[in-house]
């Protein structure tokens, strides 16, 4: 796709809600100074030309079903820590070659690691067992796996702690669901649920007809196919409004601050058209606890404590003038969310994750304003097609500038000092930028995208445009403070 118009809705000069944040300077300098009681002034050791104490070097073991968290692992490696990565999926075996050290059996390196990082749901059992043995672990618990993987359970837990959830009905038979729509005309959202494979959860359908006729026809016409692929599903009452998510890191005892407010763009094409991809881009900013956080995620504190969960957790919501309705949990790093978060965080990630795993209080130092991230892909993304992928695998990614900024790892590798497409997904890069206004961030990120040469690459050109309208609504309703 060509970037034809980066300012379709005009200039956006509105900054994010004011929160207490650090100036945009190197966080390590402030931390070193503050640890010596100088409140950000020149370190006394520096005045006296004395060497600063060396930074503690840690060992991090990343464990993945598929190539997801390599960008974070690479950042921690660049900070000077030791990093090893395990990826189970054979299709991703060449991903991160030249960037990271990869291993074939993660369990052999548990004793080696200071911190074990599980980057996806499904590792809850292993994470709980390691924590019981005294190992420092980020990510995963049986409880949080269930929160994300089972929509019915997640909604029940939301309701239990006092969140206002949308009415929903769970089904395992399509004839029963069709009869329900006939007897209860209305606008619904069809959501695969239970332990449906994640690929099939993209079959979500948002009804547009107020009497439910369009959804009824979709289910009736595709009943035989859906019965084979989606055994359990949910019909959720549709609510119009702004889709917004709030997330935070949890250290096993409490949330760390600031919180992250983010807006996903999930469909393949600009204007939210086409298939769901997981995410094609996201905008975000860091905030002190606000109304969205207090009425949703903060209510989960006690249950997260009981589960022993450590890591990032996020709740996606629909907000309107009546209320904030939580939809679903993400109990892990988000992708590309974590890469965009890295754009806005000034603290060192190795130090932060180590402190998080130990249950220590740690206040992230973050940039003011907004961050934005855009996914760059090549065919066959978002589909699996090995014959199509064979055309693009090993193609070089060329940067016009020798030291490009805001470039984050997708499924790539280094061969002979050249970045190349790896794996079988076509998910190539994430490009990020920051700005005091959303338009500043948009201008910078699309300028950085112009620095990339890659055959048949595509990306959405409208990431961030919704902020004009969404922010007006959320601020009018009083949810951003």
pLDDT, tens digit (0-9, with 9 covering 90-100), for 211-239: 999 999 999 999 999 998 898 899 999 99
CA distance 51 to 85: 33
At 391-428, the pLDDT tens digits run 999 999 999 988 889 999 999 999 999 999 999 999 99
Residues of the chain falling short of pLDDT 50: 1-15, 18-47
Burial class (CB in 10 A: 0-12, 13-18, 19+), 402: exposed
- Beta strand segments in 365-456, E: 370-377, 396-399, 407-409, 412-415, 418-421, 427-435, 452-453
| Contact (CB, 8 A) for 216 and 165 | no
Domain annotation for the chain: domains and CATH numbers: 59-148+241-476 (3.30.470.20), 167-237 (3.30.1490.20)
CA distance 126 to 117: 11
CA distance 213 to 43: 69
Q: Return the pLDDT at 351.
A: 97
Q: Return the pLDDT at 435.
A: 98
- Tokens, residue 358: 């130990």
Element (H, E) at 443: helix 438-449
Q: In angstroms, how far is CA 398 from the centroid of its own chain?
A: 26
Collapsing DSSP to helix, strand or coil, 475 comes out as: helix
Element (H, E) at 260: strand 259-269
275 to each of 141, 169, 205, 316, 381, how far by Cα in Å? 30, 24, 10, 19, 11
Cis status, amide bond into 340, omega within 30 of 0:
no
């Amino acid at each position: 796709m060509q970037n034809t118009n980066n300012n379709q809705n005009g200039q956006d000069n509105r900054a994010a809600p004011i929160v207490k944040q650090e100036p945009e300077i190197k966080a390590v300098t402030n931390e070193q100074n503050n640890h010596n009681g100088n409140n950000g002034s020149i370190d006394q050791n520096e005045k006296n030309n004395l060497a600063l104490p060396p930074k503690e070097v840690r060992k991090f073991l990343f464990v993945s079903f598929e190539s997801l968290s390599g960008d974070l692992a690479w950042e921690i490696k660049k900070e000077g820590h030791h990093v090893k990565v395990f990826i189970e999926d054979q299709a991703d075996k060449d991903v991160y070659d030249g960037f990271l050290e990869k291993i074939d059996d993660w369990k052999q390196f548990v004793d080696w690691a200071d911190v074990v990082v599980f980057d996806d749901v499904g590792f809850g059992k292993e994470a709980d067992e390691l924590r019981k043995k005294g190992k420092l672990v980020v990510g995963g618990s049986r409880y949080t796996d269930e929160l994300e993987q089972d929509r019915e359970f997640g909604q029940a837990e939301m309701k239990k702690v006092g969140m206002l959830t949308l009415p929903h009905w769970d089904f395992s038979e399509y004839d029963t669901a069709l009869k329900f729509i006939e007897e209860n005309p209305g606008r619904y959202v069809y959501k695969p649920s239970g332990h449906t494979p994640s690929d099939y959860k993209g079959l979500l359908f948002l009804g547009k007809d107020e009497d439910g006729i369009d959804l009824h026809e979709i289910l009736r016409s595709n009943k035989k196919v859906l019965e084979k692929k989606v055994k359990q599903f949910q019909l959720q009452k549709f609510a119009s409004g702004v889709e917004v998510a709030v997330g935070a890191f949890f250290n096993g005892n409490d949330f760390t601050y600031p919180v992250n407010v983010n807006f996903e763009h999930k469909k393949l094409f600009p204007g939210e058209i086409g298939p769901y991809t997981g995410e094609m881009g996201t905008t975000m900013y860091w905030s002190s606890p606000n109304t969205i956080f207090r009425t949703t995620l903060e209510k989960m504190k006690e249950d997260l404590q009981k589960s022993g969960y450590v890591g990032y957790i996020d709740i996606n919501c629909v907000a309107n003038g009546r209320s904030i309705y939580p939809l679903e949990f993400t109990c892990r790093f988000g992708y590309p969310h974590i890469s965009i978060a890295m754009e806005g965080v000034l603290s060192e990630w190795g130090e932060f994750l180590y402190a998080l795993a130990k249950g220590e209080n740690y206040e992230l130092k973050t940039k003011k304003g907004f961050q934005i991230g855009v996914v760059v892909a090549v065919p066959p993304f978002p589909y699996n097609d090995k014959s199509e992928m064979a055309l693009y695998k090993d193609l070089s990614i060329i940067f016009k500038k020798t030291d490009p900024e805001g470039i984050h790892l997708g499924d790539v590798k280094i061969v002979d000092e050249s970045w190349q497409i790896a794996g079988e997904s076509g998910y190539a890069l994430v490009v990020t930028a920051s700005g005091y206004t959303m338009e500043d961030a948009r201008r910078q990120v699309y300028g950085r995208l112009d620095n990339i040469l890659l055959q048949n690459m595509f990306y959405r050109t409208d990431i961030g445009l919704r902020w004009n309208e969404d922010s007006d609504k959320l601020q009018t309703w009083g949810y951003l403070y």
